[in-house]
């Protein structure tokens, strides 16, 4: 886990401590395989999974873990993600991770689809939201931590072996945590948009939790680490909860179009700091730059209503963040001699990936609005924001003075001794012998050899202020990864690979109340199936809308097992598909799809549904293979 390095925090709630050091430009790198980097970055989340692992788990060296989480408290808290290199489940950074993965999908889902990674990205979101739903068993109760850092750090064990405390810690109306509840509301709201068309019932469930959590956060105000004090040493809420209240409101407005949340942003912008704080940092603690970016998009899209003046102040602060990152503001972010954004020595890359994401989306927002960024040094074209974000990502991938890739498994020179319990100890699948609490330190932590398990896609903490990096397992400041390092990077990598399509096919921008109707839909046609297969495939168009002058259709396909036996290992071949598909898992061989991750078999007479969106007639779906049991 990445401890909070308080001495280097730039923010003091009585004022801002800006970094006033010089800026060294970094030439744009080239030749990186952004699709490969995206694939690996998503794969990292599978290595961080807690709970019962699914049959299609791709990180094979991991096993089931944390199977009794929550039992002592009478609640099922099995699942979710370990935050970093340890075995604790911290709710605040986990929820932020889910929010940022969802935002990445909402902005660049079509680009992810073109690279074959949209399904994996959505699976990663759902693994997080499934847990967050469990952690919210009552409207005003939210579990924010399982395990504790003190006992966990005393041991060096695989998740599959851990003998440390699995105590569960919660917030409620008597022990509030508005920051934790607000961030979780934001995660649920953002994810509800991701699943709105692919899984409408699940989307509605997420939105119900989001509404309840926002009400909880707003009505019973307080910092979560005052209620869950064991989190203070690890994920202390220095910025308080005001930013999360605005952040949650912004996401709930995006998910619902309800005026209540728009008015909340307008009426509370001054009191909660949205119009006042000019930030140089965006991450799991400080959300102001994120909410300011979202509100700026509303303003540029003509959706501010009566709050245009207040929203203009939000946008001013959003643009101050962008300018400071690019070295074009009054107060600029420090950079290393190699050109990397530098905030602090402990896990600095979390701020690099999050800033790169905001720069990327804001570049696209400006392009769509046909505007430039306004900095103290003059106007900056949207393309310059994207170019700078690209330079930061390229640095992470190896275009730096050390020629080191800080993504494990990408390139030829990447960290070999990652500060990560699971990757540093031989897999339980290879050697199931129990690894004891202290024995893990003696046998595995102190090894000078490379990790026995490759933590593919992990973004480690990264270099220091002078581009130096020491690849040692005990150098946790630089070699420990975290889920929130990777989450913002998904969107940037997808954008760098796929370009800017103007709007994501996943859903219309800002979700209009009523989609523009059309008079004619494509004529349905029967989908070919294998003649001998006891499988029925029924397809129909269920919705249509016009975006950017193009008509899109949502198709529903219902696959029914007509045999008298349970069907397993079903593979469907889908051709003439020109858009994203949800509800099936894409196989490695292109157009072939299998059961979704949450389905292992299809009983006799039962059906599964998948959906896809494109601006074309119904796709051809045929049965490739299956087994009956």
Catalytic residues: 419, 471, 480
Q: How far apart are CA 539 and CA 66, in angstroms?
A: 40
Q: How far apart are CA 109 and CA 120, in angstroms?
A: 11
Residue from 484, 516, 522, 491 nearest 614 by CA: 522
Nearest 5°: CA angle at 227, between 192 and 78? 50
Q: Cβ of 10: how many Cβ atoms within 10 Å?
A: 17
**Which stretch of DSSP H or E encloses residue 61?**
none
Q: Is 146 helix (H, G, I), strand (E, B) or coil?
A: strand
Residue from 431, 435, 483, 475 nearest 455 by CA: 483
Q: How far apart are CA 459 and CA 397, in angstroms?
A: 9
Would you say the C-alpha torsion 218, 222, 227, 232 has a positive or negative sign? positive
Largest Cα separation within the chain, whole Å, is 73
Contact of 43 with 407, CB cutoff 8 Å? no
Q: How far apart, in Å, do the first and last CA atoms of the chain sit?
A: 44
Q: Is 324 helix (H, G, I), strand (E, B) or coil?
A: helix
DSSP lists the bridge partners of residue 172 as 141, 175
Q: How far apart are CA 246 and CA 183, in angstroms?
A: 10
Q: How far apart are CA 443 and CA 436, in angstroms?
A: 10
């Amino acid at each position: 886990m990445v401890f909070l390095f308080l001495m280097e925090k730039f923010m003091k709630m009585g004022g801002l401590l800006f970094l006033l050091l010089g800026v060294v430009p970094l030439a744009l790198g080239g030749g990186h395989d952004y699709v490969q980097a995206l694939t690996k970055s998503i794969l990292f989340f599978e290595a961080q999974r807690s709970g019962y692992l699914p049959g299609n788990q791709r990180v094979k060296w991991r096993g089931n873990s944390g199977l009794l989480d929550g039992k002592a408290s009478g609640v099922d808290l099995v699942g979710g993600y370990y935050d970093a290199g340890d075995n604790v489940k911290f709710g605040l950074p986990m929820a932020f991770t889910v929010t940022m993965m969802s935002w990445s999908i909402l902005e660049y889902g079509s680009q992810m689809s073109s690279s074959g990674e949209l399904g994996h990205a959505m699976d990663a979101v759902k693994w997080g939201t499934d847990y967050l739903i469990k952690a919210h068993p009552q409207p005003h109760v939210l579990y924010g931590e399982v395990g504790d850092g003190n006992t966990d750090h005393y041991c060096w064990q695989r998740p599959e072996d851990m003998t440390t405390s699995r105590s569960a810690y919660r917030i409620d109306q008597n022990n509030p945590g508005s920051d934790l509840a607000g961030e979780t509301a934001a995660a649920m709201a953002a994810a509800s948009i991701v699943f709105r068309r692919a899984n409408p019932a699940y989307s509605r469930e997420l939105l119900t939790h989001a509404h309840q959590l926002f009400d909880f956060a707003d009505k019973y105000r307080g910092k979560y680490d005052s209620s869950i004090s064991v989190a203070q040493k690890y994920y202390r809420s220095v910025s308080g909860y005001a930013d999360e209240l605005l952040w949650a409101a912004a996401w709930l407005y995006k998910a619902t179009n309800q005026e209540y949340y728009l008015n909340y942003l307008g009426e509370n912008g001054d009191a909660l700091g949205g119009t006042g704080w000019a930030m140089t940092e965006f991450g799991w603690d400080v959300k102001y730059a994120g909410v300011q970016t979202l509100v700026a998009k509303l303003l540029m899209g003509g959706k501010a209503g009566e709050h245009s003046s207040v929203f203009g102040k939000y946008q001013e602060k959003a643009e101050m963040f962008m300018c400071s990152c690019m070295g074009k503001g009054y107060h600029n972010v420090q950079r290393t001699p190699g050109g990397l954004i530098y905030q602090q020595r402990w896990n600095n890359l979390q701020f690099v990936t999050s800033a790169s994401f905001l720069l990327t989306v804001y570049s696209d927002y400006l392009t769509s609005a046909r505007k430039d960024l306004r900095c103290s040094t003059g106007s900056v074209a949207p393309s310059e924001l994207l170019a700078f974000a690209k330079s930061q990502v390229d640095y992470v991938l190896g275009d730096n003075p050390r020629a080191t890739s800080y993504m494990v498994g990408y390139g030829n020179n990447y960290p070999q001794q990652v500060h990560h319990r699971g990757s540093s100890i031989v897999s339980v699948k290879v050697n199931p012998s129990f690894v004891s609490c202290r024995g893990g330190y003696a046998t595995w932590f102190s090894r000078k050899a490379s990790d026995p398990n490759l933590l593919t896609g992990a973004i480690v903490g990264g270099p220091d202020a002078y581009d130096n990096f020491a690849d040692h397992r005990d150098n946790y400041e630089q070699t420990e990864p975290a889920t929130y390092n990777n989450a913002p990077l998904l969107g940037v990598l997808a954008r760098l690979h796929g370009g800017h399509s103007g709007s994501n096919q996943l859903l219309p921008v800002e979700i209009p109340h009523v989609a523009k109707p059309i008079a004619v839909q494509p004529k349905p046609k029967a989908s070919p199936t294998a003649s001998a297969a006891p499988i029925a495939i029924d397809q129909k168009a269920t919705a249509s809308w016009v975006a950017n002058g193009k008509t899109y259709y949502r198709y529903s396909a219902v696959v029914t097992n007509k045999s008298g036996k349970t069907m397993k290992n079903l593979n469907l071949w889908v051709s003439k598909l020109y858009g994203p598909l949800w509800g099936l898992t894409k196989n490695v061989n292109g157009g072939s799809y299998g059961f979704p991750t949450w389905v292992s078999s299809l009983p006799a007479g039962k059906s599964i549904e998948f959906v896809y969106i494109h601006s074309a007639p119904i796709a051809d779906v045929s049965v490739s293979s299956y087994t009956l049991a």
